[in-house]
A and B are shown apart, each in its own frame.
Chain A
Amino acid sequence: MGVQSILSILVSRLLQGILVVFVVVSVVFLVSRLARNPVEYLTTDETTVEEKELLKEQLGLSGPIGIQYVNFLIDAVQLDLGNSFISARPALSEVSSRASKTLQLGAAALIFSLALGIPLGIIAALRRASPTDWLARLLAVLGQATPNFWLGLMLIFFFSVQLGWMPTGGSGGVKHIILPTITLGLLTSAVSMRLTRSGMIDVMNTDFIRTARAKGLRESTVIWRHALRHALLPVATILGLQVGYLIAGTIIVEQVFAWPGIGRLMLHTITVGDFPVLIAAILVISTSIVAANILVDLSYPIIDPRIRAGGR
């Protein structure tokens, strides 16, 4: 598999990705406008019809929905998603300041979950049926079953309210991010632990590991250089899906910990009817999910040499 074919795969995946994002944004645009004119969310019962018409005119909400949609698309291609109905600032810039907060939290959770899940999975696989293995599996089962919003509240209850070690919410120092990170990352760490463990158990029974041992390689080399790379393949596969989960999870976790990220922004825009900002937020989120999936696809050849050789 040469550079040429990797490039053509990349181009086709990018085109597909753009199509997906286009459909997502269109669906959101149409759903948000079809039921009621967004002006209805911004005004009270006392607003006169003339005032509503004026507001519609100002916000570009008058005229048939088809025309509005075409106008929206023409602007969107130029990365202009309109202005916030509330603050009148460009919707994208409203979102970008919040997106970095969400990115911080998401990245922290991803690192936490891999740093906990992968080593635990390796140890559990190498010492099967040991107390460590049982503990790891118990953690994995609990991690998958616990609703994250409840876990977050419990952590606040113990570590913030009872013990007073951590702040109850908001963002600021390192202390602020610890509890949200654990809350968000626990499920992903459970999943990656399970996958690492089962992958490791499978691979340790294969011929090439026996060969590596027979060659007289040190056990640590066998595990770290030969087995682990193989065992991590399913972890990489699932990571693409987990990015989607982490982003959806931030909406909940941000709400629990009053973390000023994109999820909280979205909940807010929806209660006040600020649809341009909502659409901008959804554009950013769906783009990053699609991008994460493409990156995961592209990372297969790096992790698995067999795919690089074209022997799929």
Chain B
Amino acid sequence: MATRVVAQPAAILRRGVRLGVSWQRLVLLAPALIILGAFLIVGIFANLLSAYDPEEIVLIRRLIPPAIQEGGSWAHPLGTDNLGRDILSRVMYGARVSLLVVVICIPASALIGTFIGLLAGWRLGWWDRLLMRLVDVQLALPALLFALLISVVFGRSLLNVILIIIIFSWSGYARLVRADVLSLREQEFVISAQASGASDQRILFRHILPNILNTIVIMATLDVPAVILIEAALSFLNIGVAPGTPSWGAMISEGRNFMTIAWWPIWMPGIAILLVSLTGNLMGDWLRDTLDPRLRNVR
């Protein structure tokens, strides 16, 4: 039976996990999991956890240093920014912005990219040429440039940021999926499924897709830090979220002007970005090494 040959993702996952976790890995993975968990919890429950309204401006308490430094107080553990907004609360709400971007952009671009990759790799011919040129166009127009244009023409908002990121990250999935389909379609189990009269849909979704699911999951994990960094960069350049929105990138952009007199407004969100993106990269690397070592050179 042709279906027998199809890899079971669950089985690979089990085998991968057993092979993958060494003590060395665990030392790295445990803190990563803790940070990831904290990021999720803080992002989801930002409104319950934060003591202040992140957008509340109180000028008399501007630029209070963090609690550990002289002049700081535990009322504002990470200090306040140039408009007297509580930095801890802003970092927490910033986690929510990043989380939102991740949760919406990655599934959306993975779905679009997978669909296009399947179509291009299976149909070939002019479908393939058309779709791959589309990928080239997207690669030749850096996301930042397009984002610039969008922000001027349609204004700054979180929704625009999300749309821009989706427009610019589906192509990675499309390329990867297409390449996998190209090699899978020559495999015997696919050829025999075709010979037994299976429809295109059935072959793609029952035979080919389960075999490339790992690839997609790994790519999606590695995309988490990438997507967070893009949002932060856009907001840093003032072409991302709407003014005032507590995004990590926007906080750094605002704190920049006071960098010489106050270090904390740019350090705190910077450390938050660094931790989350470091975690995402480590998790992605680990998944890749355990599930699919041949992907090592993709990025």
Q: Which A residues lie at the B interface, using CB under 8 A?
A: 16, 19-21, 23-24, 27-28, 31-32, 34-36, 41, 141-142, 144-150, 153-154, 156-157, 161, 191, 195, 198-199, 234, 237-238, 241, 244, 247-248, 251-252, 255, 266-267, 270-271, 273, 278, 282, 285-286, 289-290, 293
Contacts and interface: CB of A to CB of B under 8 A. Distances in A.
A211 B236 CA distance: 54
Contacts of B281: 141, 144-145
Contacts of B154: 35
B216 interface: no
A19 B274 CA distance: 39
B143 interface: yes
Contacts of A149: 232-233, 236-237, 249, 252
Place the interface of chain B in its size category.
35 or more
Contacts of A199: 297
Interface in B247-270: 249, 252, 256, 259-260, 263, 266, 270
B18 interface: no
A89 B273 CA distance: 42
Contacts of A24: 137, 140-141
B274 A150 contact: yes
B266 A153 contact: yes
B297 A198 contact: yes
Given A31-B149, A145-B225, A156 B259 contact: yes
A21 B148 CA distance: 18
A252 B148 CA distance: 12
A163 to B, nearest CB: 13
A65 to B, nearest CB: 14
Contacts of B277: 145-147
Contacts of A198: 296-297
Contacts of B143: 248
B133 A150 contact: no
Contacts of B263: 157
B69 to A, nearest CB: 16
Interface of B: 133, 136-137, 139-146, 148-154, 225, 229, 232-233, 236-237, 249, 252, 256, 259-260, 263, 266, 270, 273-274, 277-278, 280-282, 296-297, 299
B166 to A, nearest CB: 16
B279 to A, nearest CB: 8
Contacts of B148: 251, 266-267, 270
Given A191-B299, A244-B139, 11 more contacts: A23-B133, A141-B281, A148-B233, A149-B232, A150-B274, A161-B259, A234-B297, A238-B297, A270-B151, A282-B141, A289-B140
A148 B237 CA distance: 12
Nearest to B263: A157
A146 B236 CA distance: 14
A285 B274 CA distance: 29
A64 to B, nearest CB: 19
A150 B143 CA distance: 19
A141 B153 contact: no
Nearest to A26: B137
Contact of B152 (A16, A251, A270): A270
B278 A142 contact: yes
Contacts of B141: 24, 27-28, 282, 286
B128 to A, nearest CB: 13
A141 B136 contact: no
Contacts of A31: 149-150, 153
